[in-house]
Structure 1
Amino acid sequence: MDFQIKYITPDIKLSTYDDKLFKTETVFEFHMLVWFISGETKIIQADKSYIFKAGDIFLIPRNHLATIINYPKDGLPHKAVVMHLTKERLKDFYSNIEIETKNIRKETQIYSFEKNPLLESCMASLIPYFDLQDSFPENIADLKINEAVSILRVIDKNIDSVLADFEEPGKIDLANFMEKNYMFNMPLERFGYLTGRSLSTFNRDFRRIFLTTPQRWLTYKRLELAFYHLTEKNKKPSDVFMEVGFEDLSHFSYAFKKQYGFAPSLVE
Structure 2
Amino acid sequence: MDHESKYLTPDIKLSCYEDRFFKSEIVFDQHMLVWFLSGETKIVQADSTHIFGAGDIFLIPRNQPATVINYPKDGKPHKTVVMLLTSDILKRFYQNVEIKPKTATTPKIRSFDKHPLLESCLASLIPYFDVKEPFPEHLAQLKITEAISILRMIDSNIDDFLADFDEPGKIDLVGFMEKNFIFNMPMEKFGYLTGRSLTTFKRDFKKAFNDTPQKWLTQKRLELAHYLLAQQKRKPTDVYLEIGFENLSHFSFAFKKRFGYAPKDLALTDQKL
Alignment TM-score, normalising by the size of structure 2:
0.96
1:106, distance to aligned residue in structure 2 (A): 4.0
Q: Which residue of 2 aligns with 1:184?
A: 183
Q: Which residue of 2 aligns with 1:251?
A: 250
Task: Summarize deviations over 1:28-87 as a string: whole Å, max 9, x none.
Answer: 000000000000000000000001010000000000000000001111100000000000
5+ unaligned residues in a row in structure 1: which ranges? none
Q: Which residue of 1 aligns with 2:116?
A: 117
| Structure 1 runs (4+) greater than 4 angstroms displaced | none
Q: Which residue of 1 aligns with 2:102?
A: 103
In 1, the alpha carbon distance for the partners of 2:62 and 2:86 equals 9
Matches within 5 A, 1:12-31: 12-31=12-31
In 1, the alpha carbon distance for the partners of 2:103 and 2:62 equals 15
Describe the SS at the equivalent of 2:242: coil
Q: Which residue of 1 aligns with 2:83?
A: 83
Counterpart of 1:43, as a letter, is I
In 2, the alpha carbon distance for the partners of 1:264 and 1:196 equals 36
Report if aligned partners of 1:105, 1:165 keep a CA contact under 8 Å in 2.
no
Report if aligned partners of 2:107, 2:161 keep a CA contact under 8 Å in 1.
no
Alignment TM-score, normalising by the size of structure 1:
0.98
In 2, the alpha carbon distance for the partners of 1:107 and 1:92 equals 23
Counterpart of 1:192, as a letter, is G
Q: Which residue of 2 aligns with 1:32?
A: 32
- For the aligned residue pairs, the C-alpha RMSD in angstroms reads 0.8
In 2, the alpha carbon distance for the partners of 1:236 and 1:148 equals 40
5+ unaligned residues in a row in structure 2: which ranges? none
Distance change (3 Å), C-alpha of 1:104 and 1:141 = farther
2:196 is the counterpart of 1:197: yes
Share of identical aligned residues, percent? 66
Describe the SS at the equivalent of 1:243: helix
1:108, distance to aligned residue in structure 2 (A): 2.9
Counterpart of 2:247, as a letter, is D
In 1, the alpha carbon distance for the partners of 2:164 and 2:121 equals 24
Describe the SS at the equivalent of 1:28: coil
Describe the SS at the equivalent of 2:243: coil
Counterpart of 1:103, as a letter, is K
